[in-house]
């Protein structure tokens, strides 16, 4: 038995040494240590070994198994190192690595997050609402007459059901006032839809950010101070902001807001960025009728509202001349924001 163990070990080590690849090494392992392997069969003969020799023979078997196992592991490492060396052959490790392009948030996401962050610091909470709306929330509650151009199907996307894709996120303001009693101070970023001809400054789907503040004694001064602070934070403290009288059905008085744009190589010019005004009492009356209470009675509360296009803000911030660049997903354009 002792001679058989020594012979089996010598034969096994020689077989392992002669192996040339991983597959052959696995075959050798099974042939030696597997269920029908040479060493395994030899170990089964321990039952026939005289009692006084069992300890010595057992030690020889364990030593043989350890030697064979060690040889298998060493050969495997050697074969793997050889394979790795072949795989790297011809590769110049001194060449600089190829740079990886880093990703970035979309410019519209960047400007939205910054705008929302500024207004959140001023106490405004985020609000949301459906993009498929009804005429009450999109027009009637906002004091928009039936013959207003915005309600024409040439300007608005209507469904056969009579519902429509919201033309502004003002509908979120209406739904918030229906659900919550004053005071409220909310902003509503989101998509809006209009039948505009697509060109360098117009899209049929665009991104709005609207705000509403309703409480007792909200004044025009509050509106002006809020929006001046907002645009100074967004475009810089030296930004010039002006308010021009305008008309919107849902605010009175109403204003359009311009900022003076200083483009390199061009004369400074005013550009419209937002609309705003004090909430029209007719809007509060419509909300009161919907809620069936006087929580929004014009005798009790006042408020202001504002709205701006995030696409336009992005164009101003980064000097983008064609709004279509924001939806074309051209990586040559988008990688500038990485």
- Binding-site annotation, residues for Mg(2+): 252
Q: Name beta bridge partners: 306.
A: 211, 276
- Residues constituting the chain: 338
d(CA 139, CA 141): 6
- What count of other Cβ atoms lies within 10 Å of the Cβ of residue 95? 7
SS3 content of the chain, % helix, strand, coil (to 5): 45, 20, 35
**28, 74 in Cβ contact below 8 A?**
no
**137, 128 in Cβ contact below 8 A?**
no
Q: Which of 284, 98, 94, 274 is nearest to 181 (CA)?
A: 284
**158, 167 in Cβ contact below 8 A?**
no
Q: Name beta bridge partners: 302.
A: 215
d(CA 141, CA 289): 10
Strand 241-248 to 205-215 pairing: unpaired
Q: Show binding-site residues.
A: 252
- What count of other Cβ atoms lies within 10 Å of the Cβ of residue 189? 21
């Amino acid at each position: 038995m002792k001679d058989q163990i020594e012979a089996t070990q010598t034969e096994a080590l020689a077989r392992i040494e002669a192996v040339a690849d991983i597959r052959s090494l696995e075959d050798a392992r099974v042939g030696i240590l597997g269920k029908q392997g040479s060493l395994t069969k030899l170990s089964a003969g321990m039952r026939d070994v005289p009692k006084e020799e069992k300890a010595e023979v057992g030690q020889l078997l364990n030593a043989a198994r350890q030697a064979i196992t060690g040889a298998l592991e060493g050969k495997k490492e050697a074969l793997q190192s050889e394979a790795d060396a072949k795989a790297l052959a011809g590769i110049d490790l001194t060449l600089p690595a190829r740079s990886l392009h880093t990703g970035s948030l979309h410019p519209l996401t960047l400007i939205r997050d910054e705008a929302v962050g500024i207004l959140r610091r001023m106490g405004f909470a985020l609000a949301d609402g459906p993009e498929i709306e009804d005429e009450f929330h999109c027009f009637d509650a906002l004091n928009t007459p039936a013959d207003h151009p915005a309600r024409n199907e040439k300007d608005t996307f209507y469904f056969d059901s009579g519902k429509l894709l919201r033309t502004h996120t003002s509908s979120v303001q209406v739904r918030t006032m229906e659900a919550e009693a004053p005071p409220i101070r909310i902003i509503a970023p989101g998509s809006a839809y209009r039948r505009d001809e697509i060109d360098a400054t117009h899209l049929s789907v665009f991104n709005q950010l609207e705000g509403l503040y309703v409480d007792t004694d909200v004044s025009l001064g509050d509106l002006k101070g809020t929006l001046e602070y907002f645009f100074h934070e967004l475009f810089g403290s030296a930004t010039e902001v002006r308010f021009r009288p305008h008309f919107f059905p849902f605010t009175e008085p109403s204003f359009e807001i311009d900022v003076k744009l200083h483009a390199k190589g061009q004369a400074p010019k005013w550009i419209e960025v937002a609309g705003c005004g004090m909430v029209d009492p007719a809007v509060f009356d419509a909300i009161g009728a919907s809620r069936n209470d006087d929580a929004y009675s014009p005798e009790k509360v006042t408020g202001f509202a504002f709205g701006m296009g995030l696409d336009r803000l992005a164009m101003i911030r980064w000097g983008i001349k064609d709004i279509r660049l924001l939806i074309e997903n051209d990586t040559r354009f988008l990688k500038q924001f990485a």
